[in-house]
Amino acid sequence: MKNDFRTIEKKWQSRWEAEQIFRAADPGEPGSEKPKFYALVEFPYPSGAGMHVGHIKAYSSLEVISRKRRMQGYNVLFPMGFDAFGLPTENYAIKTGMHPRAVTDKNIAKFTSQLKQVGFALDWSRVVDTTETDYYKWTQWIFLKMFEHGLVFRDTALVNYCPNCKVVLSNEDSQGGKCDVCHSDIIQKSKDVWYLRITEYADKLLKGLDEVDYPGNIKQQQINWIGRSEGAFVNFGLKDTEEKLRIYTTRPDTLFGVTFMVMAPEHPLIDKYSARIANMAAVEDYRRECAKKTEFDRTQMNKDKTGLKLEGLSAINPLTGRKIPVYIADYVMMGYGTGAIMAVPAHDQRDWEFAKKFGIEIIEVIKGGDIEKEAYAGDGEMVNSGFLNGFTNKKDSIRRAIEELEKLGAGEGGVQYKMKDWAFNRQRYWGEPIPIIHCPRCGMVPVPYEELPLCLPEMKEFAPGTGGESPLARVPEFVNCKCPRCGGEAKRETDTMPQWAGSSWYFLRYTDPHNDECLADPEKLKYWLPVDWYNGGMEHVTRHMIYSRFWHKFLYDIGAVPTDEPYAKRTAQGLILGPDGEKMSKSRGNVVDPLDVVNEFGADVLRTYVLFMGDYGSAAPWSQSSVRGCSRFIERFAALDGMIGKPQDKLVRSLHKTVKKVTEDIESMKFNTAIAAMMSFINEVYDAGSIDKDSLSALTRALCPFAPHICEEMWERIGGKGLCSVAPWPEYDEALTVDDEKEIAVQVCGRLRGTLLIPAGSEEDAVWEMIASKPEFAPFLEGKTVIKKIYVKDRLFNVVVK
RNA sequence: GCCGGAAUGGCGGAAUUGGCAGACGCCCCGGACUUAAAAUCCGGUGAGGUUAACCCCUCGUGCCGGUUCAAGCCCGGCUUCCGGCACCA
């Protein structure tokens, strides 16, 4: 037959929908006795542009895996939803005057129709939309639970602020000093910020990595993100005061090498002792200078150190009693450690550069480098260090130093994280309202649980206020309320949550998307969790995944979910680049629209191509002519119904090998070689001229996860029972996957001198006899002494001669 | 700077984890079919040498060296590219 995909694909998509074959069975329902398989893909942000080929690649992997698992008898949950809060929708709404709700609905409808056109085997009865009140009710519920457990706090802070989006961004959203959404330069602004105390979970997030199946690089990225370091807090005395200047260091054993201290310009002790600081005017100037720089600028200026000595203030080394000068410099950040450091210029390059510039003494305490040239950060024998002299092992000397500090009451061992608490508010309309009420008498009061959801008020204008305040602040009916605690007049918080909120728990809601009593029925959570396999992009490995692991671990701690880790296994797809090998982007004009491919070649071809184009985890450029190659493959398959004939032993064996390869390769995400194996098999069928019906039946089912429409059509033509998508996965006979004859390589002294057909499993002596009797090998062996024979069964025979 | 990963034909990529490098697909070339083209089918296709032809030989997985009967794969030293983090004390 011809692959008349325009008719065929519609036909089978409506059959699947009518028969609801992709619906997952909840516990207690028929089908739930099968082993469960929960396959999760990152739900899309429904942009107006519709789906991108990247979406297709991201979803196709688990689409194929879960289709196969379904055919193998699993109860599969493969759901889809929409992460629909966020700036692009809101900006579009502001520009066009449409309500964000209407924009969202339109975009979701578009995505839904496109996903269906590609034929993804999704359970459409479980669609989740983060912007629906039924959903964000529970996002708010989780926030309140966190509030209740002290994981939410508010602080005034210098924040990353995007002047273009008029919104406060987390560190994660403003990397490299650019806004993640619009790429404008970030400025620093003082704001009231809501924080989630994610640092409280830093250790749990780190430890949990031991029990999950993520690729090493993903684990490593999360480990780096959390950035745990072990060291010590040391309290330096401040001369002529009772004050302690507290610092954090990873090398407390270098205390004897401390020649100055550095505080961050914002350090509070500077204000406290401003009266003692003789050059306070200059200090203020320096501080103003620093405040002008963004954090990005500060961290970029890693060449030239700036700073200033605090005249009149000095610190006392707790181990030596020595007087040490104190500086301020912007290479020390208020946001890490204690905002102050002990500087050991001999063994820290930054301190070294600073010391050189300001003419400060450099004392070597670890032997092994040339501290005149640069700081030495390596290992070596401790010198000039009192009781630490002679230590050569870093671990021992650190332990000994901490011991001494603790004995003196001058410090203690401690741990620091690079990860910071999560700035959790945005001054925007299209997000979940933060369910908190500010009462002049009671302070911050949570909205009572029974009043959830706290819905967004209806508005016509969504632009943020000029002072960067949330548009919700302009709705008096929303803002003014009664305090739930004292009944007095109070005001609602008007900030909304960041886009990461809704995506931090959506996979839980899929298990029970319509529940009105709790975020999901505990029975259903218990049945479905954890997610067995989660696939998505590398770009979400640190933020989204760490956030959602944090929320999940919190929910586990309060007994709301049954597992402490949400995702048992995580994989990531590689990017699809444009045909020019560059990242696809509108400005480059190299974007490929997946729907164009569906219209020209059909969904089966699109699906097959994105998985065939290369190693699934690596980036690969789009190639339109390779799409044609896949189209040819599908056509060649479609024509097999006209080639049915008698079984041929060689072909049957090939079929079994092919089925084995496809079965194994799908599970290890080697989709390209699985497809290649089926292509080879079809080439063999064309060579042989015919294929038997059983083999065609097996091939059809093996190809079905990749190209389900044409396979359904083929299945019907060859009289398959029911729908191919739920037919049993083809079995293979292990005995038929091995040949009874093998062609082995024959080498003399490691050089290939020919091949030899031998009965499979032949022993060394028998093979040697065959080689010795073959005239074609004689010239290489004549007159030589055999020193060594190496035989790798069914593969290779190497004769070493002299 | 630090942490990951990669480098294989004209191109995307295979290679049972130390055992015939280049599967499969694209591109290109030739043939069949066709009035013709497209489509389709069949064949060829790493480089060089040799041969009338079949054969055959040599070289070849970023670079230099090593281990081994045998290295794309292991070890040591580089180069380049990609991703992440980055004045983190």
A482-516 per-position pLDDT tens digit: 999 999 999 999 999 999 999 999 999 999 999 99
Cα maximum dimension of chain A: 109
Q: Please report, rounded to whole angstroms, the spatial distance between the CA atom of protein residue A683 and the C1' atom of nucleotide B45.
A: 18
User: Quick one: angle between helices A5-19 and A708-717, nearest 10?
Assistant: 90
**pLDDT tens digits, A645-691:** 999 999 999 999 999 999 999 999 999 999 999 999 999 999 999 99
User: If you measure CA to C1', which residue is closest to nucleotide B87?
Assistant: A331
| Residues A187, A163 contacting (CB under 8 angstroms) | yes
Non-local CB neighbours of A617 within 8 Å, separated by 6+ positions: A571, A572, A573, A574, A669
* pLDDT given at position A292: 74
**pLDDT tens digits, A408-443:** 999 999 999 999 899 899 889 999 999 999 999 999
State the alpha helices, DSSP H only, in A529-640: 543-557, 594-601, 603-612, 624-638
Q: Please report, rounded to whole angstroms, the spatial distance between the CA atom of protein residue A421 and the C1' atom of nucleotide B1.
A: 26
At residue A765, the 3 state secondary structure works out as helix
User: If you measure CA to C1', which residue is closest to nucleotide B27?
Assistant: A625
Non-local CB neighbours of A189 within 8 Å, separated by 6+ positions: A158, A159, A161, A168, A468
Q: Please report, rounded to whole angstroms, the spatial distance between the CA atom of protein residue A402 and the C1' atom of nucleotide B77.
A: 39
Give the model's confidence band at A775: pLDDT under 50 very low, under 70 low, under 90 confident, else very high: confident
Whether residue A558 has pLDDT greater than 90: yes
**pLDDT tens digits, A571-620:** 999 999 998 888 888 888 889 999 999 999 999 999 999 999 999 999 99
Give the model's confidence band at A750: pLDDT under 50 very low, under 70 low, under 90 confident, else very high: confident
Per the model's pLDDT, the better-predicted residue between A726 and A87 turns out to be: A726
Q: What percentage of chain A exceeds 90 in pLDDT?
A: 75
Q: Please report, rounded to whole angstroms, the spatial distance between the CA atom of protein residue A216 and the C1' atom of nucleotide B61.
A: 26
Nearest nucleotide, CA A254 to C1': B89
Token readout for A537 is 């992009």
User: Quick one: angle between helices A53-71 and A603-612, nearest 10?
Assistant: 90
Give the model's confidence band at A298: pLDDT under 50 very low, under 70 low, under 90 confident, else very high: low
**pLDDT tens digits, A706-743:** 999 999 999 999 999 999 999 999 999 999 988 888 88
Q: Please report, rounded to whole angstroms, the spatial distance between the CA atom of protein residue A623 and the C1' atom of nucleotide B47.
A: 27
Whether residue A302 has pLDDT greater than 60: no
Q: What percentage of chain A exceeds 70 in pLDDT?
A: 98
Q: What whole-number distance in Å separates Cα of residue A328 and Cα of residue A267?
A: 9
Q: Please report, rounded to whole angstroms, the spatial distance between the CA atom of protein residue A626 and the C1' atom of nucleotide B12.
A: 8
Nearest nucleotide, CA A628 to C1': B26
**pLDDT tens digits, A368-415:** 888 888 888 888 899 999 999 999 888 899 999 999 999 999 999 999
Rg (CA), chain A: 33
Q: Please report, rounded to whole angstroms, the spatial distance between the CA atom of protein residue A683 and the C1' atom of nucleotide B52.
A: 35
End-to-end CA distance of chain A: 62
| Residues A128, A512 contacting (CB under 8 angstroms) | no
| Residues A616, A574 contacting (CB under 8 angstroms) | yes
User: If you measure CA to C1', which residue is closest to nucleotide B26?
Assistant: A626
Nearest nucleotide, CA A329 to C1': B87
Amino acid at A408: L
* pLDDT given at position A141: 98
Nearest nucleotide, CA A574 to C1': B83
User: If you measure CA to C1', which residue is closest to nucleotide B14?
Assistant: A673
Lowest mean pLDDT across A120-124, A686-690, A747-751, A777-781: A777-781
Nearest nucleotide, CA A675 to C1': B24
Lowest mean pLDDT across A292-301, A408-417, A756-765: A292-301
* pLDDT given at position A175: 65
Lowest mean pLDDT across A155-169, A513-527, A709-723: A155-169
* pLDDT given at position A555: 98
Q: Please report, rounded to whole angstroms, the spatial distance between the CA atom of protein residue A672 and the C1' atom of nucleotide B73.
A: 21
Token readout for A8 is 């065929």
* pLDDT given at position A465: 79
Nearest nucleotide, CA A350 to C1': B87
Q: Please report, rounded to whole angstroms, the spatial distance between the CA atom of protein residue A666 and the C1' atom of nucleotide B24.
A: 16
Q: Please report, rounded to whole angstroms, the spatial distance between the CA atom of protein residue A676 and the C1' atom of nucleotide B24.
A: 4
The four Cα atoms A122, A125, A126, A127 give a dihedral, to 10 degrees, of 80
Q: What whole-number distance in Å separates Cα of residue A512 and Cα of residue A522?
A: 9
Indicate the pairing of strand A244-249 with strand A228-238: antiparallel
Q: Please report, rounded to whole angstroms, the spatial distance between the CA atom of protein residue A660 and the C1' atom of nucleotide B8.
A: 27
**A540-563 mean pLDDT:** 96
Token readout for A521 is 């029925």
- For residue A541, give Cα distances in angstroms to A190, A228, A367, A572, A665: 30, 18, 41, 9, 24
Token readout for A155 is 């602080």
Q: Rounded to the nearest 5°, which phi and psi values hold at A38?
A: -100, 105
Nearest to A236 by CA among A252, A247, A226: A247
Token readout for A770 is 């065959």
Q: Please report, rounded to whole angstroms, the spatial distance between the CA atom of protein residue A119 and the C1' atom of nucleotide B79.
A: 46
| Residues A294, A186 contacting (CB under 8 angstroms) | yes
Nearest nucleotide, CA A612 to C1': B25
User: If you measure CA to C1', which residue is closest to nucleotide B6?
Assistant: A618
| ipTM value for the complex | 0.95
Q: Is A370 exposed, middle or buried (0-12, 13-18, 19+ CB in 10 A)?
A: exposed
Nearest to A605 by CA among A53, A79, A51, A109: A53
Nearest nucleotide, CA A336 to C1': B88
* pLDDT given at position A301: 52
Nearest nucleotide, CA A613 to C1': B12
Q: What whole-number distance in Å separates Cα of residue A71 and Cα of residue A34?
A: 12
Q: Please report, rounded to whole angstroms, the spatial distance between the CA atom of protein residue A505 and the C1' atom of nucleotide B30.
A: 60
User: If you measure CA to C1', which residue is closest to nucleotide B85?
Assistant: A224
Non-local CB neighbours of A238 within 8 Å, separated by 6+ positions: A244, A245, A269, A273, A313, A314, A315, A316
Lowest mean pLDDT across A144-153, A285-294, A600-609: A285-294
* pLDDT given at position A191: 79
Per the model's pLDDT, the better-predicted residue between A141 and A336 turns out to be: A141
Nearest to A397 by CA among A216, A266, A497, A254: A254
| Residues A412, A405 contacting (CB under 8 angstroms) | yes
* pLDDT given at position A303: 63
Whether residue A522 has pLDDT greater than 60: yes
* pLDDT given at position A582: 85
Non-local CB neighbours of A715 within 8 Å, separated by 6+ positions: A697, A700, A701, A704, A723, A724, A727
SS (H, E, C) A77-98: ECCCEECCCCHHHHHHHHHHCC
DSSP result, A362-414: ----B-SS-TTTS---S---B-S-GGGTT---HHHHHHHHHHHHHHHTSEEEE
Mean pLDDT over all residues of chain A?
92
Enumerate the nucleotides of strand B whose atoms come under 7 Å of any protein CB.
3-5, 11-16, 19-21, 23-27, 39-43, 56-58, 69-71, 82-89
* pLDDT given at position A801: 83
* pLDDT given at position A171: 65
Indicate the pairing of strand A533-536 with strand A489-492: unpaired
User: If you measure CA to C1', which residue is closest to nucleotide B5?
Assistant: A217
Nearest to A656 by CA among A733, A727, A711, A760: A733
* pLDDT given at position A354: 93
